[in-house]
Every structure is written in C-alpha cells, then in structure tokens.
Amino acid sequence: MHISVLQDELLHYLSPKPNQNFIDCTADGGGDVIAILEKNKPEGKVLAIEWSPIILEQFRKKVQDNNLSDRVILVSDSYVHLKEIVQREQFKSVSGILLDLGLSSWHLQYLDRGFTFQKDQPLDMRYNPSTSLTAQQVINEWSEEKLREIILEYGEETFGRKIASEIVKVRRKKVIETTFELIKIIREVVPSWYQKGKIHEATKTFQALRIAVNGELDNLMQVLPQAIDTLRPQGKLAVISFHRLEDKIVKTFFRKVVTQDTCSLLTKKPITPSLEEIRSNPRSRSAKLRVVQKN
C-alpha cells in the first residue's frame, strides 16, 4: 500500500478532536484514516473515498478486522464527485479534508496495469478499470502534437519532442502495447547520460501518461473548491502533492481563497519531509503539504 507521508505534520495541522468528522479523499490503504480515527474517537467518523475498487476492498478488510465499521464510511468513487458523495452519504459537519495525491504502491507492485517500468505489462494506467481511456489508446491514437504537449507539460520531460516523434514513427509499423515496448522507444532517442541519471529515463513519460489517462490535474482543480464548500467554518483542508504541477495548482488555489477572505493560510511555506522520513521512505522526498482553514 501507499505509505502515508508527513503523517505527524498532517495530524498536527488537522488537529482531530473527539467526535469530529473528517474526509479522506484518497484513502488508499487507510493509514491516515486509522490515524485520524485514533484522535476523533469515540464517535467521530471518517468518510473514506478511494477510486480504485481493489484498493478499497483491501482497506474494507482492515476496517472490519479493527472493528471500525461503525465509524468509517467507505466509498468507491473519484474525489472529483466530492459534493455529490457528501450529499448522498449525508455526511455533515466536516472538520477536515485530506488529499494525499501520491501514487499508491499497490498500483506499482500488484496491479498489472503498466504503472511501473520495472515489469513488462499492458499499457493501461487506469486507477479504476471502469473508465474508458487507457495509456495504450493515448500512445497509439493521439496526435504527435498532443503527445508532445502532455509529455512536455505533464511529464516536464526535456526530450518530450523526440519521444513523441519516435512513438509516432514506431506505431506506424505496429501497435505499441506494453511498458517495455515504450521504454525501448524512449531509450532510442534520449542520450546515454540521461539513461544513467538518478531517475529512470521513462519516469517522466510514464508520469505524463498516468496524469492524462486519469485526468489528475483537472480532477484536482475541480475538487479543491468543492472541499472548501464542504468544510464547516474553521474546518481545514490539507493537500499533500508530489510534483510541481500539482503543487502549483494547490498553491494558486490557496492564494485565491485567502485573497477572497474565504480561508486563512496555515502553512506559509509547504511542509516537507524530514531527512529521517526520506531515508525510511525515499518516495516521500518530493512531498509537499499545504493547509488552509476556512473562515
């Protein structure tokens, strides 16, 4: 499962009190949900939203094993439907909302959907298999211009133009179906020194495809105002982002609601992991936590 990052800092800012209600929009393995439930007992509840049905079922077992079913409401849906979910579940008086935007380790280790470049898997990359768009469709059907745009923008990949061009060249001869086929294409056009860097040469392209397939940035922009509307006065919204584009969206939105006097900023600068946390969980190194409080 996705290891919770910045959890101590998160609990500090959300400051759960007995009997308060919270929403975790990205429940994953439930690490943050369980931590909040320890603080808001005996009657506080958490609405836990998770887009991946497989991951949600894993968490459901944990909830049942820990006798927490009466305090956790589990919902299999995208957080982009936050207000609809809250209304449907009649979940009221929300003291805090959390969005942890990190990719679940479950997707990398156990789901054969092409999230990892360490295994040869179909180019799928959907968090929820009920959605229609796959990475294979993006790779094989989108125009070179559109591919170049997402790889440069979403992946911030320096060699995005060359990669997009090579993808189009290869797909004229055959359908590109697997992660290893895509990695081979990337290696054909990026310099050798790039292949020896700290991160895998396919990391940024894979990130771009994942974001495009799941509409991650658009969904984030849609959920933030919904979260503020959902909070009760003095309620807090905490967002943990993992790359620059996410953080830019959060920072811009927070600045807007503070300027409008809708919220107060609790983190003047983003909170980042300690060296100790980065050592124990290297994936946490790029995490940034920002928090606002509704006025």
Q: Which of 152, 184, 214 is the last residue of a domain?
A: 214
228 shares a domain with 207: no
Domain count, the chain: 2
**pLDDT of 112 over the 80 cut:** no
pLDDT at position 110 is: 55
In the block, which residue shows the tokens 């060249």?
Answer: 169
Q: Which residue has the higher pLDDT, 226 or 57?
A: 226
Decide: 63 and 69 in contact? Cβ < 8 Å: yes
70 shares a domain with 11: yes
pLDDT at position 104 is: 66
199 shares a domain with 124: yes
**pLDDT of 109 over the 70 cut:** no
178 shares a domain with 119: yes
pLDDT at position 119 is: 86
Q: Give the lowest-confidence range in 77-86, 121-130, 147-156, 255-264.
A: 121-130
Q: Which of 214, 243, 270 is the last residue of a domain?
A: 214
pLDDT at position 172 is: 98
**pLDDT of 1 over the 60 cut:** no
Is residue 1 situated within a structural domain?
A: no
34 shares a domain with 172: no
pLDDT at position 106 is: 55
Decide: 144 and 164 in contact? Cβ < 8 Å: yes
What is the full DSSP assignment across 228-290?
Answer: HHHEEEEEEEEEEE-SHHHHHHHHHHHHHHHHTTSEEES-SS-B---HHHHHH-GGGGG-EEE
Mean pLDDT to the nearest integer, 37-65? 92
pLDDT digit string, tens, across residues 189-219: 999 999 998 889 999 999 999 999 999 999 9
Mean pLDDT to the nearest integer, 227-254? 97
pLDDT at position 41 is: 96
Decide: 128 and 51 in contact? Cβ < 8 Å: yes
User: Across the beta sheet with 21-24, what order do the strands follow?
Assistant: 72-76, 46-50, 21-24, 94-100, 231-241, 288-294, 263-265
CA gap 148, 118 in Å, rounded? 24
Structural domain containing residue 164: 113-214
221 shares a domain with 201: no
pLDDT at position 121 is: 92
221 shares a domain with 202: no
**pLDDT of 270 over the 70 cut:** yes
pLDDT digit string, tens, across residues 64-85: 998 999 999 999 999 999 999 9
pLDDT at position 215 is: 94
pLDDT at position 103 is: 73
**In the predicted model, what is the mean pLDDT of the chain?**
93
DSSP label at residue 103: P
Q: Give the lowest-confidence range in 30-39, 115-124, 214-223, 261-270.
A: 115-124
**pLDDT of 54 over the 60 cut:** yes
Is residue 222 situated within a structural domain?
A: yes
CA gap 150, 139 in Å, rounded? 11
220 shares a domain with 210: no
Is residue 251 situated within a structural domain?
A: yes
